[in-house]
A and B are shown apart, each in its own frame.
Chain A
Amino acid sequence: ETGVTQTPRHLVMGMTNKKSLKCEQHLGHNAMYWYKQSAKKPLELMFVYNFKEQTENNSVPSRFSPECPNSSHLFLHLHTLQPEDSALYLCASSQETGLLNNEQFFGPGTRLTVL
């Protein structure tokens, strides 16, 4: 138990569906991250939030829309996804992005399948 939870753990959706992934951290951190883990590819950073402000968008398609209403919660809204978006989506948190000792704590991930 890392203090970072993600729901749902598994999600199957059609290409025309709208769904959301949720991440919550109980560590008092101020930075939160979304990563994508596809088969046979390195973990890819998608978005970074620091004190609720988005500080990084790693050229992610607009069909992925993040939301960070407060420092404890992070959402990833999904709309008209493609089958190649099927992956494990990992959330992480850290104290804040400006620190040199920026240890990140990961949630268990949401396994997304797009049909």
Chain B
Amino acid sequence: AQSVTQPDIHITVSEGASLELRCNYSYGATPYLFWYVQSPGQGLQLLLKYFSGDTLVQGIKGFEAEFKRSQSSFNLRKPSVHWSDAAEYFCAVVPMDTGRRALTFGSGTRLQVQP
């Protein structure tokens, strides 16, 4: 079945530490890939997206993500986490091999940042 998976429900890191959030997808063709962030009480904000080309994508707020076709992954990274990064992070896809253009979301990873 087609799906997008975020294996980590909850991650805690110390401020200043590096961060990697995992996202795997299961689609026949590589979908369009997105990472969104949701701060408490807020809607979703797009961090970055991948359609084609360079597999390392730079986003806002110092985030980047790397597309790895062989692993069907699109992991989000940040070299040094700030307390303000505490939020919920969603990986999302738009399949290329259907006419559907709405986003399909993973279940999310909640990030907690320790002082």
A43–B105 CA distance with the chains assembled, in angstroms: 6
Stretch at the interface among B12-20, B22-30, B94-102: B94-102
A45-B103, A48-B102 given; A106·B51 CB < 8 A: no
A-chain residues with CB within 8 Å of residue B107 when the two chains form the complex:
41-42
A-chain residues with CB within 8 Å of residue B53 when the two chains form the complex:
none
Contact A108 B42 (CB under 8 A): yes
B-chain residues with CB within 8 Å of residue A101 when the two chains form the complex:
32, 51
Contact A106 B94 (CB under 8 A): no
Secondary structure call for the A interface: loop
Any chain A CB within 8 A of the CB of B115?
no
Contact A103 B105 (CB under 8 A): no
Give the contacts of B24-72 with A (CB-CB under 8 A): 32, 34, 36, 41-46, 49, 51
Give the contacts of A1-58 with B (CB-CB under 8 A): 2, 4, 6, 31, 33, 41-43, 45, 48, 56
Given A56-B100, A94-B101, A103-B34, 20 more pairs with CB closer than 8 A: A4-B43, A31-B101, A42-B105, A42-B106, A42-B108, A43-B90, A43-B108, A45-B104, A98-B101, A99-B101, A100-B51, A100-B96, A102-B32, A102-B94, A102-B101, A104-B103, A106-B45, A108-B41, A108-B42, A109-B43
Size band of the interface chain A makes with B: 20 to 34
Total number of B residues with any Cβ neighbor in A under 8 Å: 24
Contact B46 A103 (CB under 8 A): yes
Min CB gap A25→B, angstroms: 12
| Residue in A31, A101, A104 with the greatest tally of chain B CB atoms within 10 Å | A104
Any chain B CB within 8 A of the CB of A72?
no
A106–B46 CA distance with the chains assembled, in angstroms: 9
Min CB gap A10→B, angstroms: 10
A99–B81 CA distance with the chains assembled, in angstroms: 34
Which residue from chain A places its CB closest to the CB of B90 in the assembled complex? Answer: A43
Min CB gap B31→A, angstroms: 11
B-chain residues with CB within 8 Å of residue A107 when the two chains form the complex:
43
